[in-house]
């Protein structure tokens, strides 16, 4: 018998047509739920009166209405509630029996249901029904005289009372149903016309709160809502009732008591016991015990003592009484000193000495952290609250718990500290008092180190300019550490402030002095302050200066901040030594810097160069303070630049840009992020006065070989230490390339270095050397080196490897070696390993030399990118002349990132031209078409030298940029020359006389098609 085949889930539909997709019938509810269909868009619900004995359709109608009343969709609940209320108390009133049936069997009983949103919907209907029955309309008196208030209240109790042995969940639903029902009576505002009504409901609430401890906060909240609606006399009676029942000295009683006091003031008649004012000084011990929930049973203290209700178990949710307390203190007059004193007294006695005492439990400390968070986050706008909550015991507990992960409340402490950071961001006005407490007497000046967090560091980053002076004063005065730690921590705080962006949203619209600039001045003073040579503080001088350099590098990213940077350097009181030459140069540099900062009488177009040169003088002075060997030479070059800039209108200004480029090239070769940042900012200020010779000085190093030979052509050094890691790379994260150029380098002329070989020969030699280096670095070369080492050791030791037993000759000499032979063998082994070490060192030197050249070219490309971005849009001929060196670099370099960076500059060149074409008639009035066409010819000559896609893309982009300029930038038409050039290049490619990517000509055809389409569109217009 064959086995039965399993039928797949789709087998039944094999011979039938595909089933149509079923349309969803359920629509999404307003709260995101799609469990029930909304009545929106359907026919209106029937609002006719309900019948006394429903049957058939009438029974279905009732069931449907009450089903919708428990829906999770708010619109469904509202529509169903309107229909039910109209059907019971509409114009055609129903009989008392019908109304009682709906109240007892539908609404009150439905409150005990946990289905969906039944309690919300049923409470909505009950509140309205009770309001109309016993409120202003008093329908119970006019239509239903037998339906009294007490009868309805008793019906609620009967229908929501758990009877017999029922599961815990059902019991919970019944108690919550009764609580919701009582709340309906309160919200209907029908309890306060007759005192007996409220007292009956109050009695029910107090009994309900005693049945289950988790019901007590909810019952207390209902009483509090009622107190807000009643008159002072009834509120006094309510407080008296709470006192008699022993509920006054509970968290709920405290909240109700304070709410009544704030609501009615002097009109309220307060009971004399257990207290008149819970917040009075004499009541604070009892208040502390009440809010602490210690669980102490005082029922046996005396015969007349009133039994107190059970205390609730600990919960991670903060009691609502703290919201009441917070609102009470926030309502006080912040300008009144007594308000601050009252809150301080309350906080220290009730919170600090209770929740954070030495004998407090972990649960109480956890609650204390939550209280602290609430006061801080919700009371941030009240100055005296923020000023007083950082109390002694709290701060000790906070630091101890945050310091170690194995502490029980570690996460709670971190959450509290996170609240400090978030609140400081939302409300920067609290930063000053927060720092005063974190770093002051109750905290620790090295708070971040003590807690292993970055709280102070993150708070500082939201400092506003208006608070800068106050914050700096706190950082200075709160320092109670011993040197050198005090200096180091203080410098770290200043560095954080000095690194703040001056254009951040926090400081937007603030005309106060920049907090970053003020911090820089302070940091500069301590970095170059005169130190006692015998003190330990002198050992961190280098660290401070590095910090200052990194802060300066971040600060000078905006031209608007140049002035503050220079002023910070001027305020430094450094010791430059007693040498007369240095002193004279130092004084002259200071005078020039001050003169350059005064641009009130300077032409508008020269303001940027003045600011840039001032920035260079400030950097030169820093070099002098750091005792760098070429600082005097740099200042001397800057003096010549200064003189040429001053005499620019009266004398020939040629030479200033050349001097400037030489200075900038020496700066970008240094291992300093400050030098890189300053060089870029200064170069941007001088781009419009660059000369052809200056651009040539800038682009010539791009042709240098990326090898030891190229390094020797680029740099001359005194220490032969040409490579190193960037000491500021950790501080300046935005620079992605490695820094490996030494600080003592000097740029030399490349013309002599390359005069003895053509471009093609230099390129081939560089390629051959790079390929040779790559081969040596491969795994085969490594294996060869190991093989040579094995052979050398075998020859000396007269032995062989284990895997060469078959090849080795038999060794019969087993005699021991003499001492002299042992010494001779040892010397031979030392020599072998010494030669190996030399080889490894030489290999590393080659690698470092190559990297230093590549890094230097990266810095030059950064400057060229700035020049192209600013000058290409103005059709500056010098910008076009940078295209050929860039293309040559893309073709010759073996460093892919370098080629990609150069290619990106060429593409940016094209984009800048396109953006400027709207105003090209005004921008291109002085275009030198002859030189630009020469650049175009050079591009075509360069394009046929390489087949790589990156190079072809860059060459095509450069060619089309030049072609458009020659054809359309001026009224002079040289279109024929452009087409002849492309024809010549394409013909040589066709004859296989040149190698070039086909995309070069495809781009040209597409460009021609685009120009033809534009011309056709213009003719039609």
893-908 confidence digits (pLDDT tens)? 988 999 999 999 999 9
Residue 956: pLDDT over 90: yes
Q: Which range among 639-653, 719-733, 784-798, 872-886 shows the weakest confidence by mean pLDDT?
A: 719-733
- Cα dihedral value 451, 452, 457, 458, nearest 10: -90
310-359 confidence digits (pLDDT tens)? 555 556 789 999 999 999 999 998 888 899 999 999 999 999 999 999 99
* Terminal C-alpha separation, the chain: 86
Quick one: pLDDT at residue 737? 40
Angle, vertex CA 255, rays to CA 348 and CA 419, nearest 5: 55
Q: Given the structure tokens 């349309």, which residue do they identify? A: 23
Interval 444-465 mean pLDDT: 94
**pLDDT tier at 126, thresholds 50, 70, 90:** very high
Is the distance from CB of 535 to CB of 483 less than 8 angstroms? yes
Q: Given the structure tokens 């901040």, which residue do they identify? A: 561
Interval 371-394 mean pLDDT: 94
Q: Which range among 48-62, 156-170, 427-441, 636-650 shows the weakest confidence by mean pLDDT?
A: 636-650
Quick one: pLDDT at residue 375? 95
Helix (H) or strand (E) holding 392: helix 392-403
Angle, vertex CA 115, rays to CA 114 and CA 116, nearest 5: 115
Q: Cβ–Cβ contacts within 10 Å for residue 243, how many? A: 20
697-720 confidence digits (pLDDT tens)? 999 999 888 888 877 877 754 334
Q: Report d(CA 694, CA 663) in Å as an integer.
A: 11
Q: Given the structure tokens 């760098």, which residue do they identify? A: 628
Q: Given the structure tokens 């002694």, which residue do they identify? A: 392
Q: Which of 281, 391, 394, 284 is nearest to 338 (CA)?
A: 281
Is the distance from CB of 373 to CB of 310 less than 8 angstroms? no
What are the Cα distances from residue 411, in Å, to 20, 368, 430, 766? Answer: 55, 14, 24, 60
3-state secondary structure labels for all residues of 876-941: CHHHHHCHHHHHHHHHHCCCHHHHHHHHHHHHHHHHHHHHHHHHHHHHCCCCCHHHHHHHHHHHHH
Q: Which residue has the higher pLDDT, 929 or 301?
A: 929
Task: Give exposure, 426-454, as e/b (b: 16+ Cβ within 10 Å).
Answer: ebbebbbbbbbbbbbebbbbbbbeebebe
**pLDDT tier at 295, thresholds 50, 70, 90:** very low
Is the distance from CB of 484 to CB of 436 less than 8 angstroms? no
CB-facing half-sphere around the CA of 870: CA atoms within 13 A: 15
| Alpha-carbon 860 to chain mean position | 32
Residue 430: pLDDT over 80: yes
Helix (H) or strand (E) holding 587: helix 580-597
**pLDDT tier at 575, thresholds 50, 70, 90:** confident
What are the Cα distances from residue 410, in Å, to 397, 403, 415, 424? Answer: 10, 8, 9, 21
Q: Report d(CA 978, CA 959) in Å as an integer.
A: 10
Q: Which range among 351-355, 399-403, 626-630 shows the weakest confidence by mean pLDDT?
A: 626-630
pTM of the predicted structure, to 2 decimals = 0.73
813-845 confidence digits (pLDDT tens)? 545 667 676 777 777 777 777 776 666 666 777
Within 112-267, where are the H helices? 118-134, 139-142, 149-159, 168-187, 195-211, 216-227, 232-244, 251-264
Residue 394: pLDDT over 60: yes
Is the distance from CB of 967 to CB of 960 less than 8 angstroms? no
Q: Cβ–Cβ contacts within 10 Å for residue 187, how many? A: 20
Quick one: pLDDT at residue 711? 79
Q: Which of 889, 895, 872, 903 is nearest to 965 (CA)?
A: 872
Average pLDDT of every residue of the chain: 80
Helix (H) or strand (E) holding 369: helix 362-378
5-35 confidence digits (pLDDT tens)? 444 433 333 333 334 344 444 434 433 343 4
Q: Report d(CA 792, CA 839) in Å as an integer.
A: 15
Is the distance from CB of 147 to CB of 140 less than 8 angstroms? yes
Q: Report d(CA 576, CA 579) in Å as an integer.
A: 8
Angle, vertex CA 946, rays to CA 943 and CA 949, nearest 5: 90
* Percent residues over pLDDT 90 in the chain: 35
Q: Which residue has the higher pLDDT, 599 or 783?
A: 599
Q: Report d(CA 573, CA 135) in Å as an integer.
A: 83
Q: Which residue has the higher pLDDT, 787 or 295?
A: 787
Q: Which range among 162-176, 549-563, 732-746, 842-856 shows the weakest confidence by mean pLDDT?
A: 732-746
């Amino acid at each position: 018998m064959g086995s039965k085949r399993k039928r797949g889930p789709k087998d039944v539909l094999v011979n039938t047509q595909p089933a149509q997709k079923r349309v969803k019938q359920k629509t999404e509810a307003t709260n995101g739920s799609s469990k029930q269909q909304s009545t929106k868009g359907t026919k209106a619900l029937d609002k006719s009166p309900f019948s006394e004995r429903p049957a058939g359709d009438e029974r279905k109608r009732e069931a449907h209405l009450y089903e919708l009343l428990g829906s999770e969709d708010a619109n469904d609940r509202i529509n169903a509630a309107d229909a039910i209320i109209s059907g019971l108390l509409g114009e055609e009133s129903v009989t008392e029996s019908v109304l009682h049936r709906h109240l007892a069997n539908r609404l009150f009983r439905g409150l005990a249901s946990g289905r969906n949103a039944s309690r919300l919907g049923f409470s909505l209907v009950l509140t309205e029904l009770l309001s109309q029955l016993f409120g202003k309309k008093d329908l119970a008196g006019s239509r239903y005289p037998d339906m009294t208030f007490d009868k309805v209240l008793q019906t609620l109790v009967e229908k929501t009372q758990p009877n017999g042995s029922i599961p815990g969940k059902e019991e919970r639903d019944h108690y919550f149903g009764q609580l919701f029902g009582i709340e309906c009576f309160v919200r209907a505002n029908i309890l306060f016309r007759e005192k007996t009504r409220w007292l009956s409901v109050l009695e029910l609430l107090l009994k309900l709160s005693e049945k289950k401890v988790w019901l007590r906060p909810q019952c207390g909240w209902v009483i509090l809502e009622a107190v807000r609606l009643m008159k002072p006399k009834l509120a006094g009676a309510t407080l008296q009732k709470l006192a008699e029942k022993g509920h006054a000295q509970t968290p709920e009683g405290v909240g109700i008591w304070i709410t009544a006091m704030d609501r009615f003031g002097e009109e309220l008649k307060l009971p004399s016991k257990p207290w008149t004012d819970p917040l009075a000084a004499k009541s604070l011990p009892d208040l502390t015990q009440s809010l602490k929930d210690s669980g102490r049973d005082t029922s046996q203290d005396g015969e007349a003592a009133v039994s107190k209700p059970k205390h609730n178990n600990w919960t991670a949710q903060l009691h609502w009484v703290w919201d009441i307390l917070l609102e009470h203190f926030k309502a006080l007059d912040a300008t009144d000193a007594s308000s601050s004193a009252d809150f301080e007294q309350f906080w220290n006695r009730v919170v600090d000495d209770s929740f954070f005492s030495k004998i407090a439990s972990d649960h109480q400390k956890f609650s204390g952290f939550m209280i602290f968070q609430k006061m801080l986050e919700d009371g941030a706008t009240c100055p005296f609250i923020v000023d007083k909550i950082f109390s002694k015991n709290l701060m000790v507990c906070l630091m101890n718990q945050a310091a170690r992960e194995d502490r029980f409340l570690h996460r709670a402490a971190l959450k509290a500290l996170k609240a400090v950071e978030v609140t400081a961001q939302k409300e920067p006005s609290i930063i000053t008092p927060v720092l005063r407490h974190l770093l002051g007497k109750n905290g620790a000046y090295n708070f971040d180190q003590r807690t292993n967090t970055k709280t102070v560091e993150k708070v500082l980053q939201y400092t506003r300019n208006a608070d800068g002076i106050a914050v700096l004063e706190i950082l200075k005065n709160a320092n109670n550490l011993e040197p050198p730690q005090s200096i180091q921590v203080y410098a770290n705080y200043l560095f954080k402030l000095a690194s703040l962006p001056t254009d951040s949203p926090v400081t937007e619209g603030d005309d106060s002095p920049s907090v970053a600039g003020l911090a820089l001045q302070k940091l500069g003073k301590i970095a170059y302050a005169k130190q006692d040579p015998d003190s330990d503080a002198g050992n961190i001088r280098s660290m401070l200066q590095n910090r200052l350099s990194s802060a300066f590098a971040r600060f000078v990213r905006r031209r608007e901040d140049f002035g503050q940077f220079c002023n910070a350097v001027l305020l430094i009181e450094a010791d430059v030594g007693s040498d007369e030459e240095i002193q004279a140069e130092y004084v002259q540099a200071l005078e020039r810097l001050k003169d350059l900062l005064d641009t009130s009488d300077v032409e508008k177009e020269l303001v940027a160069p003045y600011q840039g040169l001032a920035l260079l003088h400030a950097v030169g002075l820093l070099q002098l303070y750091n005792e760098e060997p070429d600082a005097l030479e740099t200042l001397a070059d800057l003096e010549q630049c200064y003189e040429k800039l001053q005499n620019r209108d009266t004398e020939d200004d040629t030479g200033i840009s050349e001097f400037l480029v030489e200075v900038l090239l020496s700066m970008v070769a240094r291992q300093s992020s400050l030098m890189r940042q300053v060089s870029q900012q200064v170069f941007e200020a001088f781009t419009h006065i660059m000369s052809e010779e200056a651009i040539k000085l800038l682009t010539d190093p791009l042709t240098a070989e990326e090898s030891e030979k190229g390094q020797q052509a680029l740099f001359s050094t005194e220490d032969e230490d040409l490579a190193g890691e960037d000491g500021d790379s950790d501080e300046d994260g935005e620079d992605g390339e490695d820094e490996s150029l030494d600080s003592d380098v000097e740029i030399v002329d490349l013309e002599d270095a390359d005069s003895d070989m053509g471009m093609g020969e230099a390129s081939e030699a560089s390629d051959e050397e790079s390929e040779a280096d790559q081969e040596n670095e491969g795994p085969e070369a490594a294996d060869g080196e190991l093989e040579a080492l094995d052979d050398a050791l075998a020859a000396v030791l007269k032995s062989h490897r284990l895997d060469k037993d078959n090849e080795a000759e038999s060794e019969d000499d087993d005699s021991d070696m003499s001492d002299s032979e042992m010494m001779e063998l040892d010397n031979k082994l030392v020599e072998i390993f010494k030669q190996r070490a030399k080889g490894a060192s030489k290999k590393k030197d080659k690698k470092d030399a190559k990297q230093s050249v590549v890094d230097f070219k990266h810095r030059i490309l950064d400057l060229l990118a700035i020049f192209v971005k600013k000058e290409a849009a103005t059709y500056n001929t010098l910008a076009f002349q940078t295209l050929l060196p860039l293309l040559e670099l893309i073709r010759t370099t073996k460093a892919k990132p370098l080629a990609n960076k150069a290619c990106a500059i060429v593409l940016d060149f094209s984009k800048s031209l396109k953006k400027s074409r709207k105003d090209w008639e005004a921008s291109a009035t002085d275009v030198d078409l002859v030189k630009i066409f020469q650049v175009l010819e050079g591009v075509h000559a360069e394009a046929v030298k390489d087949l790589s896609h990156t190079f072809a893309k860059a060459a095509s982009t450069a060619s089309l940029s030049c072609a458009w300029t020659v054809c359309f930038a001026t009224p002079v038409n040289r279109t024929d020359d452009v087409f002849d050039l492309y024809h010549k290049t394409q013909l040589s490619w066709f004859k296989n006389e040149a190698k070039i990517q086909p995309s070069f000509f495809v781009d040209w055809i597409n460009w021609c098609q685009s120009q033809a389409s534009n011309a056709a569109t213009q003719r039609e217009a």
